[in-house]
């Protein structure tokens, strides 16, 4: 009889552990999406206030188009946008050869049960086109940055590979 209780306790404990991990992954990834969405909405709202900062013709030649305080505003905006892009790349392990193996294994066990908003692979598919777009908009400014000053070299090298 004690073996049955021990078995029930073991199965119950493993089940609770699996539910806890599933809940953690679901909550974590859904929160990542919500945070990215809120931050990006803020970036786009600033772009509505200063539409020239989202004009690819002007941002590609930002040194020619923006002077004085307007250049400072644009460069601050570009820094904000690219900092957001680095946060996305870091959070989703987008760099080649870098991944969180334990998290990848945990998510591979549960991802078929997760809604799309909480699946990290789906998050990568959702946010990579945004990163590509922002790189196209602010690529000239980003190319002028030196690794280790505002951004780590790993990010600067990686984002240049996006098309």
What pLDDT is recorded for position 69? 97
pLDDT digits (tens, 9 = 90+) for 102-153: 666 666 666 666 565 567 788 889 999 999 999 999 999 999 988 778 899 8
> 53 with 44: CB under 8 angstroms?
no
Quote the CA–CA distance of 126 and 123 in Å, as a whole number.
Answer: 5
User: Mean pLDDT over all residues of the chain?
Assistant: 85
Residue 151, beta-bridge partner list: 147
**Tally of domains within the chain:** 1
In the chain, pLDDT over 90 holds for what percent of residues? 52
Query: Residue 95: which domain range?
Result: 2-160
pLDDT digits (tens, 9 = 90+) for 8-20: 777 777 667 666 7
Give the global pTM: 0.79
> 95 with 158: CB under 8 angstroms?
yes
The answer for residues whose C-beta is within 8 angstroms of residue 46's C-beta and 6 or more apart is: 53, 77, 80
What pLDDT is recorded for position 76? 97
> 58 with 17: CB under 8 angstroms?
no
SS3 163: coil
Confidence band, pLDDT 50/70/90 cuts, at residue 70: very high
Quote the CA–CA distance of 92 and 99 in Å, as a whole number.
Answer: 9
Q: Tell the residue number behind the tokens 């930002």, with chain if given.
A: 62
Whole-Å CA distances, 157 to 10, 55, 89, 143, 163 = 48, 24, 12, 10, 13
Q: How far, in whole angstroms, is CA 25 from its chain's centroid? A: 16
> 65 with 148: CB under 8 angstroms?
no
């Amino acid at each position: 009889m004690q073996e049955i209780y021990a078995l029930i306790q073991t199965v119950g404990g493993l089940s609770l552990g699996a539910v806890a991990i599933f809940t953690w992954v679901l909550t974590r990834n859904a929160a990542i999406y919500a945070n990215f969405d809120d931050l990006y909405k803020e970036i786009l709202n600033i772009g509505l206030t200063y539409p020239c900062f989202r004009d690819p013709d002007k941002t590609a030649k930002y040194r020619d188009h923006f002077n004085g305080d307007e250049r400072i505003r644009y460069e601050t905006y570009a820094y904000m946008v690219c900092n957001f892009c680095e946060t996305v790349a870091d959070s989703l392990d987008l760099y080649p050869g870098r991944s969180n193996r334990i998290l990848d294994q945990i998510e591979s066990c549960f991802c078929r049960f997760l809604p799309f908003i909480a699946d990290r692979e789906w998050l990568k598919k959702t946010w990579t086109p945004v990163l590509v777009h922002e790189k196209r908009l602010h690529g000239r400014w980003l190319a002028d940055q030196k690794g280790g000053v505002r951004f780590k070299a790993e990010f600067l090298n990686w984002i240049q590979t996006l098309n």
